[in-house]
């Protein structure tokens, strides 16, 4: 008994300290996040800001609170201020930044305003802020710096300027800097003078080159380089590796290239590891070695697990498998597991890609009215499932209560008295009762004189 009392006392000593520690930890994390008001309209002109626009009633905003507090703690001490603003209270500021949903995350630095569209994790938020805060273009002094950058970055762009053609160099530089500003969070942009390159270098300046997949590709510069869209489109097509890792964070960005996606959907089971490696090796080889043939049409990529592919197909399939997806019309083509399980070669993949391009491959999905309706139902059910798994109480209030009210109304309609039946009228007629027809043609029981007696006699017992 004494042991139990001792344990109880020890528990009640430790419990308040534990709660207090958690409260202090939570408050200390929140201390790194600045709560903004309408004074932000003047504050935003100076410094770098990573701002969450939220609504007090938003469940997703509440779910983001601990993550956002950790982001503030991670970036504390840097030049980036992590903050939050109640968009329902300060609606003028929210309207200024085009806020339409909650939570919305934006990086703000002077005229540079960039919306976050990735996964809501601490790492993704921090990487986004650091990319958005850096200079759009970094100037390199020598070829050693250039080589180091090429080793560190999987994809990077270089503007090579030349003193031999200063007018064209200046025009290209202006367009290049504008493209880099618009895509500062999407890739890495550098500038180097041709004089810093080795004499045997084959780059004819002025030029824009991209380094990726252990090779160099060049943008064809013409005398008319004032069109930003031309260079921007080229950068957009080249900013991914030949065989890129596709995630929920970058899937939308990849679709903006306008290319079809050749997705290699790998199995999560360890027993299929060797098959995953074999298929990946074949697809990567075709992506790199057949660049001239397919680069304009396909962006090759891989993903572990079929979550994204399942949402696209609205069905499941055994992995690994290949999926060529056209984001413009939502048509997809399949190389199923049974077709690549035993024997699968580069030539078979090339034939499959050619069949897709020439319309010989069988397509699925599409953008018909039926597919749109089916997709709407699919996404609705998926949204309900996500809300249920993340916020079951909110799901009950949103769906359970209206369903309960609707069920009650249906029940009341079912048990409601619909009035006398024809058999009831016939039974009363047999007993001598008289009926009259009202204006609507409905039969009513005729009142007797006794029922309308103005001076009824009291009944005596």
Q: How confident is the model over 197-244, as pLDDT tens digits?
A: 876 666 788 899 999 998 889 998 876 666 777 899 999 999 999 999
**Sheet holding 331-335: strands in order across?**
243-245, 298-304, 260-266, 321-326, 331-335, 364-365
- What is the structure's pLDDT at 21? 46
Residues 6+ apart with CB under 8 A from 37: 85, 90
Whether 27 is a known active-site residue: answer no
Q: What is the pTM of this model?
A: 0.72
pLDDT tens-digit series, residues 5-41: 555 556 555 555 554 544 444 444 467 899 999 899 8
Report whether 156 contacts 210 (CB < 8 A). Answer: yes
Annotated catalytic residue, options 27, 29, 61, 414: 61
* Dihedral (Cα; 319, 325, 327, 329), 10-degree rounding: -120
Are the C-beta atoms of residues 320 and 265 closer than 8 Å to each other? yes
Residue 29 annotated as catalytic = no
Task: Please give the domain boundaries of the chain with CATH numbers for all domains.
Answer: 28-133 (3.40.30.10), 138-239 (3.40.30.10), 243-366 (3.40.30.10)
| Residue 315 pLDDT level (bands cut at 50, 70, 90) | confident
Which pair of tokens denotes residue 22?
A: 């958690």
Matching residue, tokens 């939308």: 252
104-109: strand order across its sheet: 34-35, 80-86, 48-54, 104-109, 112-115
Query: How far apart (Å, rounded) are the C-alpha atoms in residues 289 and 293?
Result: 9
Instruction: For 398, list phi and psi in degrees, rounded to 5.
Output: -75, -40
Query: Distance (Å, rounded) from C-alpha 223 to C-alpha 22?
Result: 64
Helices (H), 306-442: 307-313, 337-340, 346-357, 369-390, 392-395, 401-415, 422-430
């Amino acid at each position: 008994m004494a042991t139990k009392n001792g344990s109880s006392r020890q528990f009640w000593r430790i419990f308040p300290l534990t709660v207090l520690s958690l409260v202090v930890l939570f408050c200390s994390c929140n201390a790194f996040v600045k709560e903004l008001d309408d004074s932000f309209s003047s504050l935003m002109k100076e410094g770098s800001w990573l701002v969450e626009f939220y609504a007090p009633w938003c469940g997703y905003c509440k779910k983001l609170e601990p993550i956002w507090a950790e982001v503030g703690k991670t970036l504390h001490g840097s030049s980036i201020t992590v903050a939050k603003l109640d968009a329902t209270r300060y609606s003028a500021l929210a309207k200024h930044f085009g806020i339409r949903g909650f939570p919305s995350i934006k990086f703000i630095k002077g005229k540079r305003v960039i919306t976050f569209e990735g996964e809501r994790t601490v790492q993704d938020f921090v990487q986004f802020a650091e990319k958005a805060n850096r200079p759009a273009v970094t100037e390199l002094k020598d070829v050693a710096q250039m080589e180091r950058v090429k080793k560190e970055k999987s994809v990077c762009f270089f503007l090579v300027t030349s003193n031999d053609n200063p007018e064209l160099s200046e025009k290209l530089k202006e367009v290049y800097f504008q493209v880099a500003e618009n895509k500062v969070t999407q890739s890495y942009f550098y500038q180097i003078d041709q004089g810093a390159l080795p004499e045997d270098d084959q780059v004819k300046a002025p030029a824009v080159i991209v380094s990726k997949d252990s090779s160099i590709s060049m943008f064809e510069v013409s005398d008319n380089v004032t069109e930003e869209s031309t260079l921007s489109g080229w950068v957009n097509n080249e900013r991914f590796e030949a065989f890129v890792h596709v995630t929920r964070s970058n899937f939308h960005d990849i679709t903006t290239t306008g290319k079809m996606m050749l997705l290699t959907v790998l199995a999560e089971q360890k027993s299929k590891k060797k098959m995953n490696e074999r298929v990946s090796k074949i697809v990567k080889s075709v992506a790199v070695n057949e660049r001239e043939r397919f680069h304009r049409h396909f962006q090759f990529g891989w993903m572990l697990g079929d979550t994204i592919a399942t949402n696209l197909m609205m069905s499941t399939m055994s992995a690994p498998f290949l999926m060529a997806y056209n984001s413009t019309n939502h048509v997809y083509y399949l190389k199923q597991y049974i077709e690549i399980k035993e024997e699968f070669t580069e030539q078979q993949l090339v034939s499959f890609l050619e069949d897709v391009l020439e319309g010989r491959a069988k397509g699925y999905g599409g953008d018909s009215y039926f597919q749109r309706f089916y997709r709407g139902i699919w996404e609705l059910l998926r949204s309900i499932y996500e809300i249920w798994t993340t916020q079951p109480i909110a799901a009950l209030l949103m769906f359970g209560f209206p369903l309960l009210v609707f069920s009650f109304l249906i029940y009341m309609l079912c048990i409601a008295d619909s009035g006398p039946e024809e058999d009831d009228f016939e039974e009363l007629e047999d007993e001598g009762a008289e009926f009259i027809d009202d204006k609507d043609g409905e039969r009513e029981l005729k009142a007797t004189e006794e029922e309308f007696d103005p001076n009824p006699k009291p009944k005596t017992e």
